[in-house]
């Protein structure tokens, strides 16, 4: 869900857990573990800095940027709302940041790095979503759990601002039985039976399947989602169609396609029997959006 999909009064920042702000303190501890030598030079005169967007993309990461500068006792005035598209090949004024000179510069790199990464993910996510919509596909484009350790919350947030589904957030938020789980257990049916005994009715069970036969077994055993992993072309769409037809009126389930999906190969995975398309391409190795923060030059006396 992107900002354009929200109802009046709704804000994606309201999804964030109370504990997230402690992450900012850890970022500061990493970036300035001892003395701030350069900060000593500029002192504490009140200054104003402009946040410039220097490459095209979707603005995302506003609450994190705000908190970085809040902990540095600075204020941020946004000139563009989160989810806005920054035009390419221009220098766009995005926000005004005010505070003491050394505090502005203390927070500068931490804030910019976070904003650049989150906005990059939102930008690629938006492209994937728009490509799928342009094809008339009504399913869900989703990310994956292949996120950066310690930075998952920001990356998942960027996906949502961009308009794609963040998929499961961690191992506890949905049961996903992958090939290794099946091989270690012995069978799909046994794996589903075992996990249902402990996970109960409230968690969805998603099973990674290598072919139609495995998917059929998973549905029969009670899977809520079958992931047709790395299946392509007619093998993918034929299996999905057959599963939907054979189980129609008997059991409700979703079909997910995943595995090696990149922007250029997106359309080939879309189809009337595919409900979910999940890809790590919306958050792995995506280019950052370029931002800079510039203190306004002092008037010469």
* Per-residue confidence (pLDDT) for residue 4, from 0 to 100: 61
Please choose, from the candidates 298, 296, 295, the residue with its C-alpha nearest in 3D space to the C-alpha of residue 105.
295
pLDDT tens series, the chain, 301 aa:
555 678 888 899 999 998 899 999 999 999 999 999 999 999 899 999 999 999 999 999 999 999 999 999 999 999 999 999 999 989 999 999 999 999 999 999 999 999 999 999 999 999 999 999 999 999 999 999 999 999 999 999 999 999 999 999 999 999 999 999 999 999 999 999 999 999 988 999 999 999 999 999 999 999 999 999 999 999 999 999 999 999 999 999 999 999 999 999 999 999 999 999 999 999 998 999 999 999 987 665 5
- Domains 12-122+287-295 and 165-278 belong to one CATH topology: no
Which pLDDT score, from 0 to 100, does residue 296 have?
85
Tokens linked to 57: 């993309």
Residue 5's pLDDT is what?
A: 75
Residue 90 burial (CB < 10 Å; 0-12/13-18/19+)? Answer: exposed
SS3 53: strand
By annotation, the residues acting in catalysis are 146
Distance between CA atoms of residues 189 and 209, nearest Å: 12
Q: What is the pLDDT of residue 2?
A: 55
pLDDT at 297: 76
Residue 233 backbone class (left: φ over 0; alpha: ψ -120 to 50; beta: rest): left
**Res 299: pLDDT:** 63
Residue ranges per domain, the chain? 12-122+287-295, 165-278
Order of strands, sheet of 276-278, starting from the edge strand that comes earlier in the sequence: 140-142, 276-278, 254-258, 225-229, 205-209, 175-177
CATH superfamily, with its number, for domain 165-278: Aldolase class I (3.20.20.70)
- Residue 77, judged by CB atoms within 10 A of its CB (0-12, 13-18, 19+), counts as exposed
CA end-to-end distance (rounded Å), the chain: 51
CATH number for the domain formed by residue range(s) 12-122+287-295: 3.90.1170.20
- Report the interhelical angle of 152-162 vs 101-134 (nearest 10°): 50
């Amino acid at each position: 869900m992107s900002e354009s999909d929200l109802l009046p009064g709704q804000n994606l920042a309201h999804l964030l857990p109370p504990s997230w702000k402690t992450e900012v303190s850890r970022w500061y501890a990493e970036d300035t573990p001892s003395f701030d030598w350069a900060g000593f030079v500029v002192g504490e005169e009140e200054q104003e800095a402009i946040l410039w967007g220097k490459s095209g993309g979707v603005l995302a990461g506003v609450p994190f940027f705000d908190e970085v500068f809040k902990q540095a006792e600075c204020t941020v005035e946004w000139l563009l709302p989160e989810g806005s598209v920054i035009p390419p090949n221009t220098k766009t004024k995005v926000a005004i940041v005010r505070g003491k000179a050394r505090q502005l510069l203390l927070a500068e790199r931490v804030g910019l790095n976070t904003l650049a990464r989150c906005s990059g993910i939102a930008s690629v996510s938006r492209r994937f979503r728009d490509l799928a919509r342009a094809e008339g596909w009504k399913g869900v484009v989703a990310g994956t759990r292949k996120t950066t350790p310690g930075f998952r919350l920001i990356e998942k947030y960027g996906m949502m601002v961009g308009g794609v589904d963040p998929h499961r957030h961690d191992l506890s938020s949905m049961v996903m039985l992958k090939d290794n789980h099946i091989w270690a257990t012995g069978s799909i049916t046994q794996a589903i039976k075992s996990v249902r005994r402990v996970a109960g009715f409230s968690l969805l069970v998603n099973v990674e399947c290598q072919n139609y036969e495995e998917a059929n077994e998973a549905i029969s055993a009670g899977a809520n989602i079958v992931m047709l992993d790395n299946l392509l072309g007619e093998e993918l769409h034929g299996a999905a169609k057959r599963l939907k037809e054979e189980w129609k009126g008997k059991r409700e389930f979703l079909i997910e396609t995943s595995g090696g999906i990149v922007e250029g190969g997106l359309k080939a995975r879309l189809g009337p029997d595919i409900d979910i398309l999940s890809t790590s391409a919306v958050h792995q190795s995506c280019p950052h959006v370029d931002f800079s923060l510039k203190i306004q030059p002092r008037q010469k006396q």
